[in-house]
Amino acid sequence: MRRTRQRIALLALPALVGSMLVATGPAGADPTGPSATVGQSHIDDRDAVRLVHIRLTGADMLDTVTAAGFDLEHGLRRVPTGIEGEAVVTAEQLTALKGMGVEVLADDAGFAWADEADGGFGAAGARAVQPSSHEATVRVVRADWFTTKGQGFLYVEARTTEGQQAEPIVGMQLENDSGKGSPFGFSRTMSRFVDSGQYMFHRNLFKLDTRPDKIRVTSSTGGVATGAVSNWLEDAPPPLTANPSYKSDFVDGYRHPQQLYSRAKEIARQYPDIAEIVYLPNQTNGYQRKAQAQIGGTGQAAVVVTSAAWGHEGGNDITVDFVDRPGANLPLAVEVAGKAVRVLLAKDAAGGPASTATEVAEALRTRSQGLIDRAHPYRANEGTGIVAPTAGPVALTDFLDQKRVGAPAGEVPRGPVTIPVLRIGKHRDGKKPGVLIQAQDHAREWVPATTSLESAERLVHNYRSDRETKKIVENTDVFFILSNNPDGANYSFYNFASQRRNMTNHCPDANADPGRRNSWGVDLNRNYRVGSGHDGYAGASTSCVSDTYQGPAELSEPESKNIIWLVEKYPNIKFMMSVHSNGGQLFWQPGAYIADGRITTPRPPLGDEAFYWQSAARILSQVKAHRETVVTPENVGGSSDVLYSSAGNVREDLYHTYGIYAFGWEVGGSVYNPATGDWQGGSFQPEWVGNPDLVSGHAETMEYANGIMEMFRVAADWGRDKKDPTSQLVPGAGRYTKPVDVRFETSEPATVYYTTDGSRPTLESPRYAATEFREPGQVFHVTETTTFRWFSVDSAGNIERNYDPTKSDRRNNYRTATIKIVNR
């Protein structure tokens, strides 16, 4: 008799906390400052920005700085004293940042954790008796050993239950042994990690030459915990590239969106049996802008003029002339001849000029025969100044005609773009697990696009010759969006290298002058619906000139609407990687919180969390296999746990709405440099060849493509997983003469649903949870006879013993164990 398989979705998450509004800074904060002065018709278009290394005291300062419109995304790192990273700023912005308390570090100040012990608080703590677990005040969260480029490192997270206590602050000391059976020593003070007012844990990363077997953590109030040291990325199987006939290294330079899309289409033509193009339905708003001029400086007499037509559709042909006429008592008038607009300025009784900026703007809007549909005073001005005549006609421009030195050759097509998705898989029938690789939501991140293209090339070129690749192509259904922000990416390539957002200008008049054009656009990875800024979550801005602008509404942008369309059209998509740069991080949920109280989006159940960690280790092991780049464990996990809250990101939406395992990747980033003994940070657009051992677009492309291939294998394994998980209570059923501590163990990443009240377990029963986030499962302290009833569900939805929790089933083949406590 054929057995019916029970496979269920594990998405029984609690509802999101209700919407609440959070006060934000005033819109229209001025990030370009007084330097954005605009001349008659010329605007200095040099990217007057530079990259500086900065340190912030913590998440609160990050929020303040972000809300003020600063560009501080990516490459940020938690450090013991706050958050360090890079900012793309002008000289004036730098002054403003300093005014907000931001510390500016020396250039190239690569971050390194202190690796010197700086004393301890005596031996008293170490002598304390270790309390039993339910009374413990100290727990080891993780202790990881890894090596890179000949150097060993130990990373430890530990928690004290007294961590939130303010006075006195509870300190933690860390010791390690030097291998099995050796004594503890090398006492050093751990760093306390506080975020949004909440104590998170203590943590340290430091160099060690010998792998320890155990660590010991002691709190200043006498709590002690020991823990075994685990390997991090040390036990990786050989990468696919180890096969001598494996083909790789297809991408030989950065690619602009036209090149990416044209290669995607070519691949679909060359490999029709395994590849096709799916066109996304919503066209982008386009690499295009209205033509503009700012006439008369920045004072009360200045007028900002914007064409009704796009620049390339006639706007760039318009001229505007403010004309002085002889005479007195003359009214303001407008003459239009072809695309030439002449404003005949009014004269007063004495023959002096008499038109204000407000009056001239109004005349242009209403009397230019439709050529000008937006004209207004400059920024917050009232427009009371008397407008001066121009020296002659002023040409309007969309400022898209400059070509950057060094940009790839080729004309940038203007206007809306249809984004092609390259779909690769032998069986594209919706039955194989789908994997969405989405690159370059953020325009200036060039390596994510080349990493994704390299991955696609490896699939199609190795399909016939490499057994592992054949298995991937036959068992997955992969969707590549090689650039999800083509308009912004073109702007980054050809006009303004630091562009992050798309090119849609949602700004009102006060921020609509051309001096603001590099500050327009929506941050596509803040434009989604779950845990969004519109819902009150932190890490997105309401300011239309902020680099984390969330947009006027959730899913306001075609690029984010498309992602939702794709995962709804292809519900077999169960995995997603949102590929960004740079930082050397791998993220999942939770990725956003409400700052007041630090209320995160719901945490994944323990089974999902364990599956994420297991998958991350597989993926990152393959990254490491290329040139020993280690994404360190402190940079892996829920993104708002280890870095910052990013409201409205795509990962939260896809996981919570569709049950998709949604990863976020910051490729590039810190690499250990044995010559200096420091970690060296990456950049958005590293030199393509660069230093192949350190910062190099080519090396990053190759190593992270290894990781994407492993993600496909994770998905293929998941799709083939028909095996039920098993679980047990440890220690198990039996007679105990004293209270006993018990916990669940599972044979693979799985979530346990249990009861202790005699009822049959269902999907509504309590879920076995972590003691706290990033920790293993909780410990139950059993003082009276208790019967546990439970079942487990793995990440693929297989249920232990094929139990059906949705039906009252006479077999009742869930698991059960009675802990009998007998008094002697």
Catalytically active residues, by annotation? 666
Judged by CB under 5 A, the number of residues near Zn ion is: 2
Q: Which is nearer to Zn ion, 442 or 713 (CB)?
A: 442
Whether 509 contacts 33, CB under 8 Å: no
Per-residue H/E/C for 516-559: HHHHCCCCHHHCCCCCCHHHCCCCCECCCCCCCECCCCCCCCHH
Judged by CB under 5 A, the stretch of 130-138, 393-401, 573-581, 674-682 that binds Zn ion is: 573-581
Whether 199 contacts 156, CB under 8 Å: no
The nearest distance, CB 589 to Zn ion, in angstroms, is: 17
- CA distance linking residue 418 with residue 450, whole number of Å: 20
The nearest distance, CB 581 to Zn ion, in angstroms, is: 7
β-bridge pairing 727-730 and 740-746: antiparallel
Q: Give the CA count within 13 Å in the CB-facing half-sphere of 589.
A: 29
Give yes or no for residue 444 binding Zn ion (CB under 5 A): no
Q: Which is nearer to Zn ion, 442 or 526 (CB)?
A: 442
Give yes or no for residue 517 binding Zn ion (CB under 5 A): no
**Region 85-104 residues binding Zn ion, contact defined as CB under 5 A:** none
β-bridge pairing 815-821 and 734-736: parallel
CA-closest candidate to residue 13, choices 729, 604, 687, 766: 604
Judged by CB under 5 A, the stretch of 7-15, 32-40, 202-210, 572-580 that binds Zn ion is: 572-580
x/- site string to Zn ion, residues 389 to 428, per CB under 5 A?
Answer: ----------------------------------------
- CA distance linking residue 808 with residue 76, whole number of Å: 51
- CA distance linking residue 452 with residue 404, whole number of Å: 25
Q: Which is nearer to Zn ion, 74 or 202 (CB)?
A: 74
- CA distance linking residue 49 with residue 412, whole number of Å: 24
Give yes or no for residue 501 binding Zn ion (CB under 5 A): no
Give yes or no for residue 526 binding Zn ion (CB under 5 A): no
Q: What angle do CA 603, 604, 607 make, to 5 degrees?
A: 140
Q: Which is nearer to Zn ion, 442 or 534 (CB)?
A: 442
One of 202, 442, 656, 789 touching Zn ion (CB under 5 A) = 442
According to DSSP, the residues that pair with 185 across neighbouring strands are: 176
Give yes or no for residue 202 binding Zn ion (CB under 5 A): no
The nearest distance, CB 445 to Zn ion, in angstroms, is: 5
- CA distance linking residue 336 with residue 371, whole number of Å: 9
The nearest distance, CB 580 to Zn ion, in angstroms, is: 3
- CA distance linking residue 491 with residue 488, whole number of Å: 5
CA-closest candidate to residue 773, choices 601, 571, 631: 601
Q: Which is nearer to Zn ion, 251 or 443 (CB)?
A: 443
List, as one string, the DSSP characters of 187-232: EEEPEEEEETTEEEEEEEEEEESS--SEEEEEETTS-EEEEE-EES
The nearest distance, CB 547 to Zn ion, in angstroms, is: 10
Q: Which is nearer to Zn ion, 580 or 698 (CB)?
A: 580
The nearest distance, CB 448 to Zn ion, in angstroms, is: 8
Distance spanning both ends of the chain, measured CA to CA: 50
Q: Which is nearer to Zn ion, 528 or 768 (CB)?
A: 528
The nearest distance, CB 763 to Zn ion, in angstroms, is: 36
The nearest distance, CB 651 to Zn ion, in angstroms, is: 12
The SS3 assignment for 717 reads: helix
Residue 142 per-residue DSSP state: E
Q: Which is nearer to Zn ion, 295 or 439 (CB)?
A: 439
The single residue listed with the structure tokens 């308390």 is 101
The nearest distance, CB 525 to Zn ion, in angstroms, is: 6
Judged by CB under 5 A, the stretch of 27-35, 78-86, 221-229, 435-443 that binds Zn ion is: 435-443
How does 805-823 read in b/e, with b if 16+ C-beta sit within 10 Å? Answer: beeeeeeeebbbbebeeee
Judged by CB under 5 A, the stretch of 93-101, 440-448, 593-601, 620-628 that binds Zn ion is: 440-448
Biggest alpha carbon–alpha carbon distance for the chain: 116
Give yes or no for residue 580 binding Zn ion (CB under 5 A): yes
The SS3 assignment for 449 reads: helix
Give yes or no for residue 458 binding Zn ion (CB under 5 A): no
For 605, other C-beta atoms within 10 Å of its C-beta total 23
The nearest distance, CB 64 to Zn ion, in angstroms, is: 21
Give yes or no for residue 651 binding Zn ion (CB under 5 A): no
Judged by CB under 5 A, the stretch of 50-58, 209-217, 348-356, 578-586 that binds Zn ion is: 578-586
List, as one string, the DSSP characters of 240-289: GGGSTT-------S---HHHHHHHHHHHHHH-TTTEEEEE-SSPP--B--
Q: Which is nearer to Zn ion, 447 or 752 (CB)?
A: 447
Q: Which is nearer to Zn ion, 580 or 815 (CB)?
A: 580
State the DSSP H helix or E strand holding residue 453, giving kind and residue range, or none if neither: helix 447-462
- Which residues of the chain form contacts with Zn ion (CB under 5 A)? 442, 580
